[in-house]
């Protein structure tokens, strides 16, 4: 299994690195683990849905 950093996920999903870290801490990204002080996220992980929004624009 290949992994990406929070920064790589942020670039891929178009959100901030800090937001990715918060989503990891909230266990909203399946398979994300903290190794030392760094979050590692599976490359195939999908961007979580923004629960504050409904409909087609629910992606962050």
Judged against a pLDDT cut of 70, whether residue 18 lies above it is answered with: yes
Instruction: Indicate the pLDDT class of residue 58, thresholds 50, 70 and 90.
Output: low
Cβ atoms of residues 6 and 29 within 8 Å:
no
* Spatial distance between the Cα atoms of 15 and 1, rounded to a whole number of angstroms: 23
Q: What is the pLDDT of residues 40-51, one digit of tens each?
A: 999 999 999 887
What are 21-46's pLDDT values in tens digits?
Answer: 999 999 999 999 999 999 999 999 99
Location of structure tokens 């790589």: 8
Which pLDDT value is given to residue 51?
Answer: 77
SS3 53: coil
What's the confidence (pLDDT) of residue 55?
Answer: 63
- Where residue 55 falls (left for φ over 0; alpha for ψ -120 to 50; beta otherwise) is left
Rounded to a whole number of angstroms, the CA Rg of the chain reads 11
């Amino acid at each position: 299994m290949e992994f990406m950093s929070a920064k790589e996920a942020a670039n891929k999903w178009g959100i901030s690195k800090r937001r990715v870290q918060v989503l990891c801490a909230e266990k909203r990204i399946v398979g994300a683990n903290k190794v030392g002080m760094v979050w590692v996220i599976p490359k195939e992980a999908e961007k979580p849905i923004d629960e504050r929004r409904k409909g087609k624009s629910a992606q962050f």
